[in-house]
Amino acid sequence: MTDTLTIRRPDDWHLHLRDGEMLKGVLPETARDFARAIIMPNLVPPIVTAAEAAAYRDRILAALPEGMDFQPLMTLYLTESTDPQDVAAAHADGLITAVKLYPAGATTNSASGVRDLDNIQKVLEKMAEIGCPLCIHGEVTTDTVDIFDREAVFIETVLDPLRRRLPELRVVSEHITTKNGVDYVKSANRNLAATITTHHLMINRNHILVGGIKPHYYCLPVAKREVHRLALRVAATSGDSRFFLGTDSAPHTDPNKESACGCAGVFSATNTMACLAHVFEQEGALDQLEGFTSLHGPAYYGLPVNVGTLTLKKHTHPIKFPARIETGEGPVTVFDPGLDIYWSVE
């Protein structure tokens, strides 16, 4: 039985750091294990220009504790007034790694998102031309579509037509949660990849609703049926390079989660690597963990793999992770996998 595993230092290809005191509180939880992360731009106001991305990057680096090594990979928040030339210049300068598409109203701070893809066609054409990836929150927001069906409907009505119209556009379907999402990525022969979160590999919708509402499991896209969770696990542990880790770790203070209209988001930065070791061991695929966390993402984004390494160790007793971390904005609850985890990062 394997009790230690050393892999290339991982990256997180979908991360929320927020800003201000929250940023200062949560950044060390990611930088402890991860060398790089794609930083989500849905602040208030959102990061929509190259100048704003540069300023946000500087705030992240200023908040990084001394002695920690971490590179934020910046993104722009795509709006219907985004300037294609601003995107092209920011990408050419290496300031941004991708552009993020939020359908308006899809998730936290997405009110400024896109309502009509026709209005961003010129930006998408420029991105296809220069090879800048588009990261997509893949859900429709139509009131008539059930929340558990929004990903499948998005694939059929938005994503597939977009990719047929612009086959050269490099797309990352972020935080997929369904077998539909897995099957669609597997059907593509180029220019499509997907991130999968830690929590969607470990929970289904019963965790949110059975025995009382559990607000700290509520996220968007919402967790689905067990059949979908199992499909995600097969994809993540398969060695298929089109699937890689994007934690979507999303901090909210406990009062904002535990309210009459609680915020969507699971904060998993603290214990993601230990939880993933548990999942991959369960699936008999520890040898595929490095690919999922450390190799597939850099390959798709055209970046070098990290030079450093990370070692995981399996213990004979369960590891106790902190129930929450304290930030200047208030306490943030850490993802509870709901079972004993025996792995830790050394």
Respond yes or no: is residue 287 known to be catalytic.
Answer: no
Query: 221: cis peptide before it, omega within 30°?
Result: yes
Q: Which amino acid, residue 125? A: E
Q: Which residues contact 172 (CB under 8 A, 6 or more apart)?
A: 13, 98, 133, 134, 135, 136, 192, 193, 194, 195, 246, 300
SS3 state of residue 235: helix
Strands ordered across the beta sheet of 343-345: 4-8, 309-314, 343-345
Query: Residues 11, 33, 240, 248: which is the catalytic one?
Result: 248
- Only one residue has tokens 């896109």, namely 114
Beta strands in the chain (DSSP E): 4-8, 11-15, 36-39, 71-77, 96-101, 134-137, 171-174, 192-196, 243-245, 309-314, 324-327, 330-333, 343-345
Tokens 């009505």 — which residue? 157
How big is the chain by its Cα radius of gyration, in Å? 19
Report how far residue 37's alpha carbon sits from residue 27's, in angstroms, rounded to the nearest whole number: 11
Q: At what angle do helices 121-130 and 84-92 cross, to 10 degrees?
A: 20
Structure tokens at 154: 């998005």
Strand extents, DSSP E, 159-301: 171-174, 192-196, 243-245
Residues in CB range of 63: below 8 A, 6 or more apart: 23, 24, 27
- Alpha-carbon distance 99 to 302, whole Å? 15
Angle between helices 226-236 and 179-187 (to 10 degrees): 40
| Catalytic annotation, residues | 248
